[in-house]
Copies of this chain bind each other. A is one copy, B any other.
Amino acid sequence: MKSDELFALLRRRGVLWPSAEIYGGAQGLYDYGPLGAALKRRVEDAWAAWFVGLSHDYYLVDPAEMLPEAVVRASGHLENFTDPEVTCENCHTAFRADTILEKVRPEGVDGLTPGEIAEIVRSRGVKCPSCGSVALSVPKPFNLMFGVDFGVTGHERVYLRPETAQSSYLSFPRMWDVGRRALPLGIAIVGKAYRNEIAPRQILFRMRAFTQSELQIFFDPEHFQLPFDRVRDESLPVVRAARRLAGSEEVEMTRAEDLVRSGGLPEFYVFHLAHSFRFFRDVLGFPVARLRLLEKSDQERAFYNRIQFDIEADLESLGGFKELGAVHYRGDYDLSRHGQGSGRDLSVTLSDGRSVLPHVLELTNGPDRDIWALADLHLGRDGERTVWRLPPYLAPVAVGVFPLIEKAHAEYALRVADDLAAAGLSVRYDAGSSIGRRYARMDEVGTPFCVTVDGETLAEGPTHDTVTVRERDSKAQERVAVRDLFGRIQAALRFPRAARS
C-alpha cells in the first residue's frame, strides 16, 4: 500500500491520527488511539522481553526525560546535534539540506560542509520545493533539541532529551552501586525522545516526539565473552561499507562466524547484531528478504561510533529501505565525556582489581517505526478480506468474543469476555452486525482469535460448554471447551525469547 492509503486505514481503525486534529494538527506529532496504544505497548514489551532478557544483568529503568544543560553540553548535543537548514529567501520556508538535495544527491549530505552543500545547490540549479525560486540560502546549522526554561529564575535551562541513551549513561554510576558491581551491565530504556525536526515527514518515521527502545551494554573492553555458538551459523543479510563505497548495495548472506573470521568484526559485536536481526525476523516476523544490515562507512557514522550497522526494512509505503534499528559500538566516548562534564571519574574497579572505564555497545530500536513497518509488511488484502497478519503476541486485541444472536447469547458471551479479560487478555466484545462482518473487523486489526457463543454452547451441559474458535490466518474454525479457552489462547501469546547468557 501507498503511505497515504495505509495511514487512512490506520486512522479509520483507531490506530493513530494526527495530534490536535480539531485545531489543524501540529507537524510531526501523532496520537495513538486505542488499538495503536495497545499495539505499541505489546511491541515495547516484546522488545524488552527479547533484549533485556538477554542477561540476568540487564535492567529496564525509567529516568526523567529532561536533561540539565550541563548534560547536553558534555554529550556534545548542545554544539553538534544540528541539521543543516536551507531557507528559501523568497517564500521563507525552511528545509533540511538533504531534503532539498534528495533528487540530485540521494546518498544524503552527511560529511559535507555548508559550503559544499551550497555549491551543489548552485551548480545543479536546485529550486525551492515550495515556491520554485532558486533563492536558497547557504545551509546553517539548526539545533534539533527542544530547550525549556526550568524553574522560576529564568537562568536555568533543561532540554527534552534528544535520545534515551544519555539517560542510561547518567544512570550508570547508580546502577553500578545498586547492582552486582560487575560487567557487563545492561541499562535499557523504553521512553520518549524529542527532536525539533526541520522537516517532519513519513508519519511515524520522522516525528518531533517519538519513542526509543534502547539497550546500552557497559562492558570491559578486555573481556566480553559470550556464547557465540548461539549465533555462529546464523546467515545475515549484510551490506558491508567497503562494498557500498565500491558502488554496490547488494545484500550478501553471510555467516556470523565469517563476519568475525574474515570480516574483521569482534565476536561481541556480531553476537548482538545477530540478536538484533533476530528481533526483527523472529519477534516482529519480518521476511528476511525485506531486511538488510547496512554497515555505515567512516564518513557516515558519528566519529565516536567505531562500528555501526543499521537494520533496515524494505517498506513499500515509504519507497524502499528505511532504518528501524542499529547496533553502535561507541567505545568509551560516553562515560569519558560525562566523566569530564561532571568532574567525577566514572571508571569502575573490577573484581580482579583493574580499574576500567567501560565501553558501550548500544542496541537501538524505535517502536513507532516498528508499528509502521508491522503495518507495511503484515497488513494487506487476502482475496476479499483485509488482514493484518500480526504475530499473535503483538495483536492489540488478542480475542474477539461474539454472541451469534445477541438476544439469545449475549449474557453467556459477556461472561466469557469478562473471564478472559480477568485472566489478563485483551478482549473486544462485539454484538453488532453479521458474524462475517465481525470477523472482517477483527481481521483488519490483526486479532488472532475470534470466539463465538451459539446455540450449541448453551445446549451442552455446564461443564462441557464449547464455543467456536476461529483462527485469523487460516480462517479455520474449531469447537473448544470454554474451560480450555484461556490456556489455548494464552499459549499463542508468549513473547519469543532468546536464550539468556
Contact = CB atoms under 8 A, between A and B. Distances in A.
Interface in A16-62: 17, 19-23, 26-27, 29-34, 36-38, 40, 53, 56, 59-62
A63 B29 CA distance: 9
A175 B31 contact: no
Contacts of A341: 23
B12 A66 contact: no
A414 to B, nearest CB: 8
Contacts of A21: 170, 173-174
A412 interface: no
A13 interface: yes
**A-side interface size class:** 35 or more
Contacts of A67: 20
A192 B65 contact: yes
Contacts of A34: 59-61, 175
A389 interface: no
A59 B14 CA distance: 11
Contacts of A146: 148-150
Interface stretch (A271-279, A290-298, A422-430): A422-430
Contact of A22 (B59, B173, B192): B173
B151 A22 contact: no
A158 B23 CA distance: 12
A459 interface: no
- Kindly report how many copies of this chain are found in the complex they form together: 2
Given A14-B178, A146-B150, 4 more contacts: A23-B342, A33-B175, A37-B62, A422-B494
Contact of A40 (B62, B170, B418): B62
A71 B31 CA distance: 15
A171 interface: yes
A268 interface: no
A174 to B, nearest CB: 5
Contacts of A179: 14
A231 interface: no
B31 A64 contact: yes
A174 B14 CA distance: 8
Contact of A421 (B60, B70, B421, B497): B497
B61 A32 contact: yes
A170 B20 contact: yes
Nearest to A27: B151
Contact of A66 (B37, B40, B209, B414): B209
B152 A142 contact: yes
Contact of A26 (B31, B150, B500): B150
Nearest to A142: B152
29 contacts: A13-B178, A14-B175, A19-B170, A21-B173, A22-B342, A22-B346, A23-B70, A23-B341, A26-B66, A27-B151, A31-B61, A31-B62, A31-B64, A31-B171, A32-B61, A32-B63, A33-B175, A34-B59, A34-B60, A36-B62, A85-B152, A92-B153, A142-B152, A146-B150, A149-B196, A150-B196, A418-B500, A421-B500, A422-B497
A418 B38 CA distance: 26
A198 B152 contact: yes
Interface in A405-452: 414, 417-418, 421-424, 429, 432
B22 A178 contact: no
Contacts of A40: 62
A158 to B, nearest CB: 6
B494 A424 contact: yes
A285 interface: no
Contacts of A14: 174-175, 178-179
A94 interface: yes
Contact of A23 (B33, B37, B68, B196): B68
Contacts of A201: none
A470 interface: no
